[in-house]
């Protein structure tokens, strides 16, 4: 996509990947509006990036999604990029009892959130000469991490939803992109110091390079093995990966 002159709304732009991409896109000459639940994270990000804007949003709440969409259209009529980045990742036990709060909050945030957010803004986006919906999935949508089975399933679901959106919007001005990050050093899974995860700055730099091309899937080198795994023999890598993660679990598990 063209990396300058857009008006971009990012969910979950006050931390991690969302903040990193918000700052990079802001520096490249785009109007960037970040959002999330934690006001202090949004304020901190705005302070470090004069000219950026923010809106409080809870993507789990349909009323908040609707109100945010209406406010965006009113205050930022040039809005042409919706970047569904917000997500949560919690541990679960697919071999046992699934905690109801983990299940509902994860599906509501990671899957219903992007679907509702896009639905609330799609007619506005279609009215723009060139518009983009960007969905953040994960390497774990292609090779699940079994100790976060619900999370992995939401990302696989968002991947297929993205394929449907792209097909349904192919004759419109709206392009649908997917960013599928590998493990990246952020607050997610308490991974800021995790040596097996990609440093955030390197991920942002590599992602911006790919985002600037005309690809539909924004993949950095580190995720390509996982991206190409689905198929009849996918179980081999799923087992290898999960055995490896079992022998050295993420820190916060």
Ligand X SMILES: NC(=O)c1ccc[n+]([C@@H]2O[C@H](COP(=O)([O-])OP(=O)(O)OC[C@H]3O[C@@H](n4cnc5c(N)ncnc54)[C@H](OP(=O)(O)O)[C@@H]3O)[C@@H](O)[C@H]2O)c1
Per CB under 6 A, residues contacting ligand X are 11-12, 14-18, 36-38, 41, 57-60, 85-89, 109, 136, 138, 181, 183-184, 186-188, 191, 197
Which is catalytic among the residues 76, 151, 161, 167? 151
To ligand X, the closest distance from the beta carbon of 166 in angstroms equals: 19
Among candidate residues 205, 194, 172, the one with its CA nearest the CA of residue 249: 194
Q: Given the complex with ligand X, which of 144 and 181 has the nearer CB atom?
A: 181
Q: Given the complex with ligand X, which of 60 and 165 has the nearer CB atom?
A: 60
To ligand X, the closest distance from the beta carbon of 182 in angstroms equals: 6
To ligand X, the closest distance from the beta carbon of 109 in angstroms equals: 5
Is residue 138 a contact partner of residue 148, using CB atoms and an 8 Å limit? Answer: no
Q: Given the complex with ligand X, which of 36 and 144 has the nearer CB atom?
A: 36
The token duo for 165 is 């959106």
Please name the residue that has the structure tokens 């899937």.
217
Is residue 241 a contact partner of residue 179, using CB atoms and an 8 Å limit? Answer: no
To ligand X, the closest distance from the beta carbon of 154 in angstroms equals: 8
Q: Given the complex with ligand X, which of 38 and 246 has the nearer CB atom?
A: 38
Active site residue 151: yes
Torsion of CA 152, 94, 146, 109, to 10 degrees: 20
Exposure string (b/e) for 12-46, b if CB count within 10 Å is 16 or more? bbbbbbbbbbbbbbbebebbbbbbbbeeebbeebb
Active site amino acids = 151
């Amino acid at each position: 996509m063209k990396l300058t002159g857009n008006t971009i709304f990012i969910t979950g732009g006050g931390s991690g990947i969302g903040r990193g991409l918000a700052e990079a896109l802001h520096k490249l000459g785009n109007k960037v509006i970040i959002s999330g639940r934690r006001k202090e994270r949004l304020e901190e990000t705005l302070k470090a990036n004069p000219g950026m804007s923010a809106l409080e949003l809870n993507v789990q709440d349909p009323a908040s999604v609707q109100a945010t969409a209406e406010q965006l259209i009113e205050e930022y009529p040039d809005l042409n990029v919706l970047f569904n980045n917000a997500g949560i990742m919690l541990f679960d036990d697919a071999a046992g009892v699934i905690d109801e709060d983990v299940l509902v909050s994860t599906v509501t945030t990671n899957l219903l959130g992007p679907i509702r957010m896009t639905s609330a803004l799609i007619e506005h986006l279609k009215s723009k000469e060139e518009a983009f919906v960007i969905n953040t999935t994960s390497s774990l949508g292609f090779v699940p991490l079994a100790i976060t089975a619900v999370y992995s399933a939401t990302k696989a679901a968002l991947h297929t939803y993205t394929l449907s959106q792209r097909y349904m919007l192919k004759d419109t001005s709206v392009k649908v992109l997917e960013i599928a990050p590998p493990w990246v050093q952020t607050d997610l899974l308490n991974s800021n110091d995790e040596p097996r995860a990609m440093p955030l700055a390197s991920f942002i730099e590599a992602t911006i390079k790919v985002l600037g091309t005309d690809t539909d899937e924004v993949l950095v080198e580190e995720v390509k093995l996982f991206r190409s795994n689905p198929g009849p023999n996918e179980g081999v890598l799923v087992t290898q990966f999960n055995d490896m993660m079992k022998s050295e679990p993420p820190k916060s598990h």
